[in-house]
Structure 1
């Protein structure tokens, strides 16, 4: 015996395994996040499916919405009270739809995730929830988001429904292209179009330019993120 006491982290490093304690902590979530510390135990797998323990993704989805509201307001003479609800609705919707999208991604990638060190501790491959439970959770989040969308004008509702296409396709993009980031950009920046339409009632060139600028931004940050899985 060497006389050394090996920590769990060191043991996992030597075996190639990913830390995942009895509480179901996800390997690539930062330690001490609010889900691990404060959420009731039974909710944690579902919140982890939604990446509630990593809120940066919600911001990446939400910021194009805020930019679009500001752009639309500046083009029509300033902010109106309706814009306050658009911002609130977009905030709630971004959290829920990011959660629904991540849940859907985990459902479709469950077999791949089981073989990747960074993702094998996620709720589905680690056995915290079943695929059916995860699917039900994705539907619940989507329906609440749809209820919020119904408070917007008709063109925005139609555009919101159309956005489900890119969301549904994105998890499969890595199976047929080397550039899945493009599909993420299409989905994650949709708010640039939707919130302009929710404010003005129609689409025009400024939000389209903003949309493609957001896609370029997504290509940048998601390419960096993708390099984490090279090994």
Structure 2
């Protein structure tokens, strides 16, 4: 079997461009400067990328495109990914509710990355699935990215913001439920530095809720298919 040769940076761009049309040499160099990739250098100083480097780049770019995650969160997930253990963490919370899931996103970027039409984004805003920042209606919080991308998948299947509003209402009810769970800790001021106990409690509740919701939803869908 012929051993696969390493690629130049230009060849890497060609390999990745079909899935990531906006990839550029500058982008690859930027990711290297941030410690996200470490291609070897030839004696002449040229970068050479092996198969692992290309796969790592593909993972990083996919996390940015599909989940709008900041580099510091992606970097923390890379070790798990390289072990073949990549937990589903679209929110990119990094384990802290006090940290933003990424940078605010311009309306144009939400549209471009999610493939939503402007009227579809307006529909999601009208039904509170996504809300712009209070001081600028053209800038959205980081969670708007993954919400828009997932909403696009549902809208492509015939749903509208009116249908998806039930998700927003359900989340509001769940937050009220968790608020009542956390209230006793707040009253006795059992917070520790930065409120770690309350954060752990709420994140644990959120994880449990996601697991229950997925299990019940799949069970109900299986029931529908058997009818």
| TM-score > 0.5 by shorter chain | no
TM-score (normalised: structure 2): 0.26
Higher fraction of helix:
1
TM-score (normalised: structure 1): 0.26
Q: Which has the higher contact order (CA 8 A, sep 6+)?
A: 1
